[in-house]
């Protein structure tokens, strides 16, 4: 359409009808969307502000998904480590009991293990013997428990990050809800 022709058509309409009649016809055709946003609401409903809210909603969803993935990754191989821990605990008990049962001398006051005789007369001597027998397994158990403790710290950090992302998303969602309700109010629908 020729811009000069459109301008001429508007001039013809204005010549045939009054300015108020043209404004009413345009308002009826365009509807409530043609209304201007009141100045007091512009800082909440400006087009750039609404676009920012949409971008923030998108970013918050991405952030929640990323933090959720990080939270899942933080658990890592926890199941495998727990399984190994329980196996090591049982292995330690079996090693200690096997060494005692196979090495205990008839007098009950000493134990022979790996061609070495150990006193077995009091609690401290028995504990020392058990720790000697299962030292390799106990060392690995300590390493596994250390890995599990480090994993718990990572899980806690990841959980905190996820909680923060959810709270931030809730704020943005609340802001979008307020903007939507204000737009509905200004449009005249409830």
Tell me the pLDDT band of 42, cut-offs 50, 70 and 90.
confident
Average per-residue pLDDT for the chain: 84
User: What local confidence, expressed as pLDDT, does residue 30 receive?
Assistant: 59
User: What local confidence, expressed as pLDDT, does residue 5 receive?
Assistant: 57
For residues 132-148, give the mean pLDDT.
Answer: 94
Measured in degrees and rounded to the nearest 5, phi and psi for residue 140 equal: -65, -40
For residues 137-152, give the mean pLDDT.
Answer: 94
Higher-pLDDT residue of 57, 46: 57
Q: What's the rounded Cα separation, in Å, for the pair 14 and 37?
A: 26
CB atoms within 10 A of CB 18: 9
> Where are the domains positioned within the chain?
1-34, 35-187
Tell me the pLDDT band of 136, cut-offs 50, 70 and 90.
very high
Q: What is the dihedral of CA 101, 107, 110, 111, to 10 degrees?
A: -30
User: What local confidence, expressed as pLDDT, does residue 33 receive?
Assistant: 55
Query: Are the beta carbons of 60 and 168 closer than 8 angstroms?
Result: yes
pTM above 0.85, yes or no: no
């Amino acid at each position: 359409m020729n811009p000069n022709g459109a301008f001429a058509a508007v001039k013809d309409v204005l010549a045939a009808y009054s300015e108020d009649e043209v404004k009413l016809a345009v308002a009826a055709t365009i509807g409530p969307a043609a209304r201007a946003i009141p100045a007091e609401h512009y800082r909440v409903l400006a087009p750039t502000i609404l676009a920012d809210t949409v971008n923030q909603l998108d970013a918050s969803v991405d952030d929640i998904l990323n933090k959720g993935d990080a939270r899942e990754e933080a658990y890592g191989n926890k199941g495998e480590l727990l399984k190994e821990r329980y196996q090591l605990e049982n292995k330690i008990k079996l090693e200690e009991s096997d060494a005692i049962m196979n090495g205990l001398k008839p007098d009950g006051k000493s134990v022979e293990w790996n061609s070495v005789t150990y006193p077995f007369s009091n609690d401290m001597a028995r504990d020392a013997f058990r720790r000697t027998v299962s030292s390799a397994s106990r060392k690995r158990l300590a390493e596994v428990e250390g890995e599990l403790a480090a994993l718990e710290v990572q899980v806690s950090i990841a959980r905190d990050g996820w909680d923060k992302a959810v709270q931030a998303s809730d704020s943005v969602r609340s802001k979008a809800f307020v903007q939507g309700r204000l737009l509905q109010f200004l449009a005249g629908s409830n």
